[in-house]
Amino acid sequence: MSGKKTDNPHDTRMKELFHDKKAFMSLLKDLLKADWANDIDENSLKRSPNTYILPDFSDKEADVVYECRLKNSGEKVIFYVLLENQSAVDYRMPYRLLLYIVEILRDCYNHADEKERKRKNFKFPAVIPLVFYTGRRKWTVPLTLRDMFAGQERFGDALIDFTYKFIDAKTPDDESLENIESKLLELMIRLERSQDFDEVMDTIGNYKAKIMELNDEEKRVLNVAFKIFSQVYGDVGGFDLSKILYAESKEVDGMLVDFRANTMKRERSIRAEGKAEGKKEEAVEIAKSLLDVLDVETIAKKTKLTVQEIEALNDEI
């Protein structure tokens, strides 16, 4: 078990999202559509401070762990959610999850009362593995561990097996997203589907009314996402997306227009700087080729470089 924190911006966004209990319950009920989700005592639901990322995979993912009790039986349940956003799907997923499940069970066993764990009726808590996938490629990884064994058709039930629950953020259509109880989860999925920063802006504009309706904690989570989107897509000209969260709905359109104008201005500036840099590099190469045939002052006139720059080139040769 490790306390290593991920540096992946996507992982940070998703981990912040699932700090919100309402978003997590909406994941189970609205996206996973699990009947047993209705048996969860939501008052007992809590985010575990533990993380079970193993050294072999510590650079690949982030996890979220929730604990809860069932309403009638009081039985403990642990949800292990793996946040997956790889450019290529990982066919080791069932094996990876097996290692994490074993780590969770080991942790539960080690922290159980020694006398209790020797009793005949000692039970481990149910551990439910889930994968929340936001990658672009189609998920073609087997959902069961048994599929990773050679000869699994022959040995059948003799092999260890489990099926993990899989949620693809690309799967819900617009109507399904509209019916998600957690508007924060809905908005984050829509933002995650954005291909570039323009699409992020379009999503904000199209769903500004729902953004305005979020509570303070939900706005905090969305603000983290806004800041990370700004980092991922580069400098956004000093435009503070967090202002959108606390603006009046009628003000948002004007703010987005200003932002787009600033972005376009910055892009033109970058292109101009690139062209200027390219011309400078071309002039340097021309100057180098003329050093043996022309004097410094003449080369300066032809290339628009300064005499000092040309003399420095002469020193390098």
pLDDT at 45 over 80: yes
The closest alpha carbon to 166, from 97, 235, 68, 266, belongs to 97
Please indicate, yes or no, if residue 119 is contained in any of the structural domains: yes
Q: Are 78 and 128 in contact (CB under 8 A)?
A: yes
pLDDT for res 5: 45
Please indicate, yes or no, if residue 273 is contained in any of the structural domains: no
pLDDT at 106 over 50: yes
Please indicate, yes or no, if residue 184 is contained in any of the structural domains: no
Taken in order 203, 208, 214, 218, the sign of the CA dihedral is positive
pLDDT at 126 over 90: yes
Q: In the chain, what percentage of residues exceed pLDDT 90?
A: 38
pLDDT for res 149: 95
Please indicate, yes or no, if residue 231 is contained in any of the structural domains: no
Please indicate, yes or no, if residue 140 is contained in any of the structural domains: yes
Q: Are 303 and 288 in contact (CB under 8 A)?
A: no
Please indicate, yes or no, if residue 127 is contained in any of the structural domains: yes
Residues composing the chain: 317
Please tell me which of 45-49, 160-164, 208-212 the model is most confident about, judged by mean pLDDT.
Answer: 160-164
Residue 162 exposed, middle or buried by CB count within 10 Å (0-12, 13-18, 19+): middle
Give the Cβ contact number of residue 258 at 10 Å. Answer: 12
pLDDT for res 253: 76
Contacts of 101 (CB under 8 A, 6+ apart): 80, 127, 129, 162
Q: In the chain, what percentage of residues exceed pLDDT 70?
A: 81
Q: Are 177 and 190 in contact (CB under 8 A)?
A: yes
Domain count, the chain: 1
Q: Are 79 and 128 in contact (CB under 8 A)?
A: yes
Sheet holding 76-84, edge to edge: 40-47, 62-70, 76-84, 126-133, 165-168
Beta strand pairing status for 165-168 and 126-133?
Answer: parallel
Nearest 5°: the CA angle 72, 74, 77 is 115
Distance, in Å, from the CA atom of 57 to the CA atom of 130, rounded to the nearest integer, reads 17
pLDDT for res 39: 94
**Looking at 131-140, 149-158, 171-180, 273-282, which range is the least confident one?**
273-282
Q: Which domain holds residue 68?
A: 9-179
Q: Which two tokens stand for residue 28?
A: 């189970």
Please indicate, yes or no, if residue 132 is contained in any of the structural domains: yes
Taken in order 131, 136, 142, 148, the sign of the CA dihedral is negative
Please indicate, yes or no, if residue 124 is contained in any of the structural domains: yes
**Looking at 67-76, 146-155, 254-263, 264-273, which range is the least confident one?**
264-273
